Structure 1
Amino acid sequence: MAQEVRSPDLGGDPAPGEGRSRRSIVIAIGALLLGMLLAALDQTIVSTALPTIVSELGGMEHLSWVVTAYILASTAGTPLWGKLGDQYGRKKLFQAAIVIFLVGSALCGIAQNMPQLIGFRALQGLGGGGLIVLSMAIVGDLVPPRERGRYQGMFGAVFGGSSVLGPLLGGLFTQHLSWRWVFYINLPIGIVALFVIAAVLHIPARATRHTIDYLGTVLIASVATCLVLVASLGGTTWEWTSPQIVGLAVLGAVLLVCFVYVERRAAEPVLPLKLFRIRTFTLVSVISFVVGFAMFGAMTYLPTFLQVVQGVTPTASGVHMLPMVVGMFLASTTSGQIVSRTGRWKVFPIAGTAVTAIGLLLLHRLTEHSSTWQMSVDFFVFGVGLGLVIQVLVLVVQNAVSYQDLGVATAGATFFRSIGASFGVAVFGAIFTHGLNSQLDSALAGQSLPPGTGPEQIAADPRAIAELPSELQPSVVHAYATSITDVFLYAAPVVFVAFVVAWFLKEDKLRGSVTAPDASQTLASNPVERSSYEECARALSVLGSRKGRREIYERITARAGLDLLPAASWLLLRIRRHGTVEPARLAETTPVPLRAITEASRQVEERHLARREGLQLILTDDGVEAAAKLAKAREDSLAELLGDWWGPERPTDLVQLVEELTAELNGSDAERPHLPDPPRDHRA
């Protein structure tokens, strides 16, 4: 999460995408997508398998740690993978992450008890964090800035698809093969990715030196672990006033003080404390924590409700979860687009937290007699609430910070969502376990029970319910239902706190370069780890899309005071760059349609801005003047999107990014454009 200190590339290194065939890039991207798919699926595929896992291995009270161990390990490892990849080469580190992930997956598959599974899940999470952060970073090594938005959109689609496929695949494997195949399935996919990466991924080794904050990383992970242990073990395994819980709480507080001390002196802190001086960042961090708390806590325990209480199969429980995922996608996509187009965003954190709280209250009302229709509606409402807020939080925090802090601020906000996720799963688990034990004791008190069907056995293995006398089974199922749905009732006030906090957000004007984040920034359980340069390139690269190109040429044509088709402006700038252009060949070498090129050619000739010499178009004197106006307007427009980031002290890498994107808008890197000076009324 620390801010990257960029150093210039070594002389002679090719630019991203230079010297590589389209086929080799596509194959390499495909292998990276496989690696990303592994990590993304493992955040969701386990949820529908959890009830079966705890039934076989025992220990329902440890269910939450199967999820929490993965999240904590991936969260702690993410910043280290990013820095080590910069320092020692991303290809080697990516291969190492795959190996660690596959070893963890294989060990999870052969685990014989819950402690083993939890430990192996932590190892798997450590590799998973590396897969996500390094695969996204390698895209920047393979393709130029203009194309990154398209390719990173594919990675976002993988996250979106895994949110849908994960619960379904987890249910299918559990029901028709074994829960162990939830982990074994990673092995063939990972091995293919490993060999393809070794064979086709060739990226220059750019050694960027970092002062890696190992101590800060260990301390913040330790603080989070202490808090999660207190939340999950307090009142269940140990009393709240027991020496163990008090000791863990005190240790967590001491480690937090040490963390603050270390971060104030770290050269590249894992979480820069200066960010908390920015009011918007602090408020967004609180809301992100709560959103992660509710989102992953609910996603972990809803499959247990469906399978144990409703009696549906693991596969069917994955299908039942779809309305929540659909609601989340629809709301997040819609809110992100509305904010990007209107610049108004404050309504979404407020509405999102309110709807999420309502969704939790609806989930609390579910019983063993609830219909599929009622559950689907309640799941959908809950998903819509999450979707309304998760997209906007990343966008808001990016809009509130300086360019230098763009990367670390994004990582910071998503870090708190990750910690909230692990904390939420643990708290949900503690409330569920405590409530279940109490409910089962009440339901079975004074009853004559078959051997192996006491409250402790039923709490550890839901399959024991089937061994009870038929007249006792409804009360035990009701105990499970009440214990799970009570969790949502306790979570509602926590989300209400986020609703109150959201009202204090200040709706600053949205910077033009801040665009809706992709799914990898909003759905992942581990923090985003990108430098400021990479974040800005991701956002601005939308201009390289066909729609974005048309919009920007409409804007710069108007800005230049010319009455031309967008394609005609593009054609004039193309001729200006290359001297001559053959329109018939442009359709073969550029993504602009032939019809648009033909109409543009006709217009520039009719306006006497260009003349024919054989098959070639050459600028006239009037055309030279018009093209110069367009070039200036194009450069001004792109820099204007950066708002107050484009100030007198703008960093070199930002200047380089704008130069690259400006040149690439015409499909060539031959020209280094003159960039405009910052506005005189710049505010820092």
Structure 2
Amino acid sequence: MSDVAISAREIDEVDREKAESVHESEDNEAQYLHGWPFVWLALALLAGSFMLALDNTILATAIPQITSDFNSLNDIGWYGSSYLITQMSLLPTCGRVYTFYNVKWTYIALLLVFELGSAVCAVAQNSVTLIVGRAVAGVGAAGLLGGAAVIVSYCIALRKRAMFMGMISIVYGIGSVTGPLIGGVITDNKRLTWRFCFWINLPVGAIGLALIWWTLKRPPPAVKAGLSKREKLRQLDLPGATILIGAIVCLLLALQWGGIVYRWSHPKVLGCLIGFILLLGIFLFLQIRDQEVCTIPLGIFRNRTVSISTTFMLFIQASMVTITYYWPLYFQSVKGTSARDSGIYLLPLCISSSIATLLCGWLISKIGYYVPFLWVGAPILAIGCGLYQLVSVHAPAGEWIGYQIVSGAGYGLCISVPILAVQVVLDQADVPTGCVMVLFFQCLGGALATSIAQNLFTDKLLRVLEDVDGVDGAAVVRAGAKDFRQVIRPDRLELVIEAFGSALRDVFWLALACAVAALATSAWMEWRKMPKQKKQEVPSVDS
């Protein structure tokens, strides 16, 4: 469950306030949309917000069935990480695109990229195609995150913006919470199947595209439209983003292959690790050489709050993504539930997280201090993850509902703090960069978590199944999380289910370790209070 779109909204509110000084000083009230054009634009951006929120969580309950259809239990990690890798790596680049090119056509182009990626996923006939489609969709998502707020700053009057961003927040929250349930209902429908989880993006996106096309008849010029084509490409830092994607892919391949597909000493695993080190070195060299256009401005990490905030976000998001992806696997593989029911059973986690995020934003706006929420939220999340170790194969609903509520509340209490902290300590000119870095590490945490969790899960499952007579562990993995019951003798089924439960407990140890690491990191956060003069610059987070 990703809060990327929520955090992106906060970044974009800062960007809008920078633009306000220009637009308001020129008294261009006439350029803003009113009446029906305002309504159509609102519907377009709300549709995009709902689509992105849904895409973050809808796949969680569909993955077990996908692994059975494609015999791809080993690829669970890639279904999430491929989307996050491209989104993370291209987030700064896509943000710059709007300063160079026509806002309307840039948004439409990136929306079409997202739709293309969704269509590729929907028609995929194998796991590799699905992973590629997710990566393409991630490129579009990276651009849509910032594009909505840029359009808002150009087209909606200042007095309406707070209300409008609140509407986006509500729609995003609804999409995030209902995503697992919608995904489960769609996956269980024999006519729709899990593929409609991707097809659904096409009509929603088409509505947004048509409304943007119709409403923005005369879009404002880009801020840096006058630069030469060569200078625009230079400032986008496409080589840096490409090398970063390559480095992260090498790392994830090594993490997923090592000890499962190949030995850690195998040339392919070692080659990926070496490739990661070399590409990372090249990337860092490029960032240091030209810091004016770099993808990651390394100098900003000299600020202690920025360094701690990004590290905390990496660990806390890794913990939550692990939980979100593997609880549906528990329900469908161990409990034998349907995809729809697994979505219903995940609601305690989603709802408690949303409520806690709202409560956190309200409390911070009242008391001004934000650091204590790191010290409260992270240990509560860790307690919840620790309680997961008590969940047995036959655990009653009361147990896992309570445990989900605890971990969801812990996550919600602290997830908004890093993005607020960097806005407090940085100069106004550096705030957008600092916030993008927090988002960057949020995506990185999710991508790494899915890969590491997959390795832990598959390794433990195969090791336990080796001790079960009459069971082919490789056949169980090939069958997937839903259909493994069909290849197991009835007298061995309970033992295999126990093996799945044991493997899942190892995964939840990872979630616990990440939550503890986040808590340890937060101890170094600077004790600061939100100054009163920044209350308008630092929006509250309301899930």
Instruction: Calculate the TM-score normalised by the size of structure 2.
Output: 0.89
- Aligned twin of 1:235: 259
Q: Deviations over 1:42-71 (max 9, x none)?
A: 111011000001101111011110111111
Q: How many residues align?
A: 513
Gaps of 5+ in 1: 524-684
Q: Is 1:46–2:59 an aligned residue pair?
A: yes
Native 8 Å contact 1:49 1:170 kept in 2: yes
- Aligned twin of 1:201: 216
Q: Is 1:497–2:533 an aligned residue pair?
A: no
Q: 1:321 aligns with which of 325, 342, 346?
A: 346
State how far apart, in whole Å, the 2-side matches of 1:102 and 1:505 are. Answer: 40
- Aligned twin of 1:133: 146
State how far apart, in whole Å, the 2-side matches of 1:183 and 1:14 are. Answer: 43
Q: Deviations over 1:617-666 (max 9, x none)?
A: xxxxxxxxxxxxxxxxxxxxxxxxxxxxxxxxxxxxxxxxxxxxxxxxxx
- Aligned twin of 2:202: 187
State how far apart, in whole Å, the 2-side matches of 1:322 and 1:7 are. Answer: 39
Q: Is 1:365–2:423 an aligned residue pair?
A: no
> Aligned pair in 2 of structure 1 residues 372, 16: CA closer, same or farther (>3 Å)?
farther
- Aligned twin of 2:92: 79
Q: Relative contact order: is structure 1 or structure 2 higher (C-alpha 8 Å, sep ≥ 6)? A: 2
> Aligned pair in 2 of structure 1 residues 473, 403: CA closer, same or farther (>3 Å)?
same
Greater alpha carbon shift after TM alignment, 87-96 vs 503-512: 503-512
Q: Deviations over 1:336-363 (max 9, x none)?
A: 2111111122221111111111111111
Q: Is 1:258–2:282 an aligned residue pair?
A: yes
State how far apart, in whole Å, the 2-side matches of 1:377 and 1:10 are. Answer: 50
Q: Deviations over 1:583-613 (max 9, x none)?
A: xxxxxxxxxxxxxxxxxxxxxxxxxxxxxxx
Equivalent positions of 1:538-617 (< 5 A) are none
Which amino acid letter does the alignment assign opposite residue 254 of structure 1?
A: L
1:42 alignment partner, SS class: helix
- Aligned twin of 1:27: 40
Native 8 Å contact 1:39 1:129 kept in 2: no
Equivalent positions of 1:204-283 (< 5 A) are 204-209=219-224, 211-264=235-288, 265-283=290-308
Which amino acid letter does the alignment assign opposite residue 457 of structure 1?
A: A
> Aligned pair in 2 of structure 1 residues 21, 11: CA closer, same or farther (>3 Å)?
closer
How much has 1:229 moved relative to structure 2?
A: 2.1
Q: Deviations over 1:163-206 (max 9, x none)?
A: 11100110010011311111111122222222222112235332
How much has 1:12 moved relative to structure 2?
A: 12
Equivalent positions of 1:655-666 (< 5 A) are none
State how far apart, in whole Å, the 1-side matches of 2:464 and 2:42 are. Answer: 52
Which amino acid letter does the alignment assign opposite residue 529 of structure 2?
A: K
Native 8 Å contact 2:357 2:541 kept in 1: no
Q: Deviations over 1:431-478 (max 9, x none)?
A: 1111111122222x3x2x6xxxx3212112231313422221100011
- Aligned twin of 2:8: none
Native 8 Å contact 1:324 1:379 kept in 2: yes
- Aligned twin of 2:106: 93
Which amino acid letter does the alignment assign opposite residue 201 of structure 1?
A: L
Equivalent positions of 1:219-618 (< 5 A) are 219-264=243-288, 265-443=290-468, 445=469, 447=470, 454-461=472-479, 462=481, 463-512=483-532, 513-514=534-535, 515-518=538-541
> Aligned pair in 2 of structure 1 residues 203, 364: CA closer, same or farther (>3 Å)?
farther
Percent of residue pairs identical: 26
Structure 1 ranges of 4+ moved more than 6 A:
1-14
Native 8 Å contact 2:76 2:450 kept in 1: no
> Aligned pair in 2 of structure 1 residues 322, 100: CA closer, same or farther (>3 Å)?
same
Which amino acid letter does the alignment assign opposite residue 290 of structure 1?
A: F
Q: Deviations over 1:476-509 (max 9, x none)?
A: 0111111112111133223212211211212123
Which amino acid letter does the alignment assign opposite residue 266 of structure 2?
A: S
State how far apart, in whole Å, the 2-side matches of 1:295 and 1:498 are. Answer: 12
Native 8 Å contact 1:109 1:180 kept in 2: yes
Native 8 Å contact 2:361 2:541 kept in 1: no
State how far apart, in whole Å, the 1-side matches of 2:517 and 2:260 are. Answer: 26
Which amino acid letter does the alignment assign opposite residue 507 of structure 1?
A: W
How much has 1:223 moved relative to structure 2?
A: 2.7
Native 8 Å contact 1:337 1:516 kept in 2: no
How much has 1:379 moved relative to structure 2?
A: 0.8
State how far apart, in whole Å, the 1-side matches of 2:23 and 2:425 are. Answer: 33
- Aligned twin of 1:57: 70
How much has 1:14 moved relative to structure 2?
A: 7.6
How much has 1:224 moved relative to structure 2?
A: 2.4
How much has 1:9 moved relative to structure 2?
A: 6.7
Q: Deviations over 1:296-321 (max 9, x none)?
A: 12111111111111111111111111
Native 8 Å contact 1:7 1:208 kept in 2: no
Native 8 Å contact 1:142 1:203 kept in 2: no
State how far apart, in whole Å, the 2-side matches of 1:11 and 1:400 are. Answer: 26
Native 8 Å contact 1:348 1:392 kept in 2: yes
Greater alpha carbon shift after TM alignment, 463-472 vs 102-111: 463-472
> Aligned pair in 2 of structure 1 residues 329, 234: CA closer, same or farther (>3 Å)?
same
Q: Which structure: larger Rg?
A: 1
- Aligned twin of 1:633: none
- Aligned twin of 2:179: 166
How much has 1:78 moved relative to structure 2?
A: 2.2
State how far apart, in whole Å, the 1-side matches of 2:22 and 2:427 are. Answer: 24
Which amino acid letter does the alignment assign opposite residue 460 of structure 1?
A: R
Native 8 Å contact 2:58 2:197 kept in 1: yes
1:71 alignment partner, SS class: helix
> Aligned pair in 2 of structure 1 residues 310, 102: CA closer, same or farther (>3 Å)?
same
Native 8 Å contact 1:81 1:93 kept in 2: no
> Aligned pair in 2 of structure 1 residues 319, 457: CA closer, same or farther (>3 Å)?
same
State how far apart, in whole Å, the 1-side matches of 2:275 and 2:153 are. Answer: 41
- Aligned twin of 1:569: none
> Aligned pair in 2 of structure 1 residues 464, 103: CA closer, same or farther (>3 Å)?
same
- Aligned twin of 2:229: none
How much has 1:161 moved relative to structure 2?
A: 0.8
Native 8 Å contact 2:381 2:408 kept in 1: yes
What RMSD in Å do the two structures reach over aligned CA positions?
2.4
Greater alpha carbon shift after TM alignment, 263-272 vs 386-395: 263-272
- Aligned twin of 1:647: none
How much has 1:401 moved relative to structure 2?
A: 1.0
